[in-house]
Chains A and B, each alone.
Chain A
Amino acid sequence: MPSATPDIVFAGLGAASGLGYGKASLIDGLLAGRDVFGTLQRPGRQAPEGVAPFLGIEMAEPPSLLTARVERTVGFGARVAVAVVDEAWREAGLDTVAPERIGLVVGGSNLFSREQALLARDYAARPNFLPPRAGHAYLDSEIGGLLANTFAIRGFTLGVGAASASGAVAVMQAADAIRSGRVDACIALGALQDVSAMDLLGMRALGALGAPRFADCPGQACRPFDRDHDGFVFGESCAALVLRRADQAGPGYGSLVGAAQVADGQRGPEPDGAGQRRAIAQALVQAGLRPGDVDYVNAHATSTPKGDDVEAETLAASGLGHAWVNATKSVIGHGLAAAGAIEVAAVLLQMRAGRLHPTRNLDHPIAPPLRHVIGAAQPHQARVALKTSFGFGGIDTAMVIRGAP
């Protein structure tokens, strides 16, 4: 008999970012601290005339894995999702799992706004000729539908929206689905957030978007925990993590031993230290660990002044001042819906590599002091990692990951 509450392991992962497609490009680029920032160029995402350009990172076209007939009907973010799930699926050996025992949780909402803006532009003058697929493909369920149509997923598909914490919440929901016995394996996808120019203008108006100070040197604009940080910088990304029962899949990359999501009562972007501390404390209690057991923190760290300040206070106040800290967004930008998932992938790959990537542009760390990885990759075999992810709307999450023995 399988145990009632199985241990959950990460059995496979797939990733795509400005560093390239595949886990090797992600870990190599992170450890090298590659600079791939530039100006956003994708149609529907460029700043209108007279407005300062948007800085960020865009990725290459995904490998062509669908038939030509299907591919022509599928948007960019959905094709990227197929690529990362294909990588994770094969690594995790999901072909050996009964399709009815495989689930999928897609993290992210409003995933296609750039493509919808292009449709609105292209069909404004000929609305009767809008392609019929526009009637279903505008829904975020398009990703789950396409993935289950492409891969043998017959347990369930589900979408979860938690703003910038969506990818992290997808991982937690996938773990819950396995623990509850609903499925034996579950894919958590941090979906590509295909932002439109309007989305970016809104976030600029909100004061969340970085760049004014570094408009001429995009590579320096994203600087989490640095005193000159002035806002987040968007970066396209997408990642899939395959969670499985340890008793069926072996140790994989490591185990999810604690996870917590709390509501802190904020409506908009305001970070809330009390909520963040509560999420971290709950995740550690669930893991049966103390703060002193954590030796690596992959921070949410978006490079917004308020967000970084509050998170640094949170980490110090949570007794994590001794642990190594880095900010993956300093290398790949902020993928919004995808962030929490690709940053979990970054944790797992760093654990396997025995090295931690540097936080780029961290010239003058803000207070309170944390043990930042600065300048070059740090040799360190992380045993217990904490991953924080926070989202607009008062969403605070923390996950505790124990490395494979």
Chain B
Amino acid sequence: MDRDTILAVIVGQIREVVPELADRPITESESMAELGLDSIERSEIIMNTLEAIGLDLPMVQMHGPKNLGELADLLHAKRHA
């Protein structure tokens, strides 16, 4: 699974958790906080993404990325670690 596919999964999960964003373009330079997601929504999106791409990792390892692109990079790296 390449990095862009993971990014697409993240965006899909964002739209699942926040249906109001269904028609809004979402770019990889944006962060979930910038999209107006609260911390519980952000956690849910990351957990849903982890499950969707087959990664079972503690949430604490998900801290650090500043935007969606960096999150996709991190998940891609973990998946191929």
Contacts and interface: CB of A to CB of B under 8 A. Distances in A.
A121 interface: no
Interface string B41-70: 001100110110000100000000000000
Nearest to B58: A128
B18 interface: yes
A315 to B, nearest CB: 50
B44 A131 contact: yes
A133 interface: yes
B63 to A, nearest CB: 15
Interface residues of A, number: 10
Contact of B20 (A69, A128, A129, A131): A69
Contacts of B40: 132-133
Q: How large is the interface on B (under 10, 10 to 19, 20 to 34, 35 or more residues)?
A: 10 to 19
B19 interface: yes
A132 B45 CA distance: 10
Contacts of B19: 68-69, 72
B58 to A, nearest CB: 8
Contacts of A128: 47, 56
A129 B50 contact: yes
Nearest to B57: A128
B18 A132 contact: no
B39 to A, nearest CB: 9
Contacts of B44: 131-133
A72 B18 CA distance: 9
A267 interface: no
Contacts of B50: 129
Contacts of A69: 17-20
B18 A131 contact: no
A67 B47 contact: no
A67 B48 CA distance: 21
Nearest to B37: A69
Nearest to A133: B40
A132 B51 contact: no
Contacts of A72: 17, 19
Interface of A: 67-69, 72, 126, 128-129, 131-133
13 contacts: A67-B20, A68-B19, A69-B17, A69-B19, A69-B20, A128-B47, A128-B56, A129-B47, A129-B50, A132-B40, A132-B43, A132-B44, A133-B40
Top 3 nearest A-B pairs (CB, nearest first) are A68-B19, A132-B43, A129-B51
